[in-house]
Amino acid sequence: MIARIVLAAAALAVVALLAVSRHGYDACQDARRDVIAAAIGAIPADRQDPAIAAVREHCRGAERLVEVAGLLYQQGRVDVAERLAREAVDAEPENALAWRALAATAAERDPATARQAARRQLELSPLDPPPVPAG
């Protein structure tokens, strides 16, 4: 009897965790969609910054941050793109793509950081050339 109660409690906990995880995933997707929609003019541009904040809050790992950083970089929002790339590196320091994003976004404003990021990217992924010289 006690074993059944413990098993039922564990099952409820798993269901609750899955529901919370799904909510975070959906919130991340919604935020990413809003960043893109603002970039192409489908929603007002003033909604992009709150969407970026939502990406930071709801998206896990470096991949989504790098995607948004790339879009912002293409828009000319280099400072915000570089901050997101730095956050991606902080989130996953062994992620070569995050270091590549930092190298690309820092190239104009902080060449020393860009070179350092390019060197780290090459250490992690020697066959993938960085966007800036690593030397």
71-98, pLDDT tens digit by residue? Answer: 999 999 999 999 999 999 999 999 999 9
For residues 3 and 74, give the distance between their C-alpha atoms in angstroms, rounded to a whole number.
57
Q: Whole-prediction pTM value?
A: 0.77
pLDDT value for 25? 83
Its domain, for residue 52, covers: 26-59
7-65, pLDDT tens digit by residue? Answer: 555 555 555 444 444 556 889 999 999 999 998 899 999 999 999 999 999 998 899 99
pLDDT value for 83? 96
**135 and 81, same structural domain?**
yes
Q: Would you say residue 80 lies in a domain?
A: yes
**85 and 124, same structural domain?**
yes
**128 and 84, same structural domain?**
yes
pLDDT value for 133? 80
CATH number at residue 125: 1.25.40.10
**79 and 130, same structural domain?**
yes
Domain count for the chain: 2
Residue bearing tokens 């991606």 = 88
87-95 contact pairs (CB < 8 A, 24+): 87/56, 88/62, 88/63, 89/62, 89/117, 91/60, 91/61, 91/62, 91/65, 92/61, 92/62, 94/124, 95/62, 95/63, 95/124
For residues 20 and 31, give the distance between their C-alpha atoms in angstroms, rounded to a whole number.
17
pLDDT value for 18? 47
Picking from 37, 59, 81, the residue at the C-terminal end of a domain is 59
pLDDT value for 3? 63
**86 and 112, same structural domain?**
yes
At 2, the pLDDT band (50, 70, 90 cuts) reads confident
Q: Would you say residue 11 lies in a domain?
A: no
Between 6 and 67, where is the model more confident?
67
pLDDT value for 16? 46
User: Number of helices (H) and strands (E), helices first, in the chain?
Assistant: 6, 0
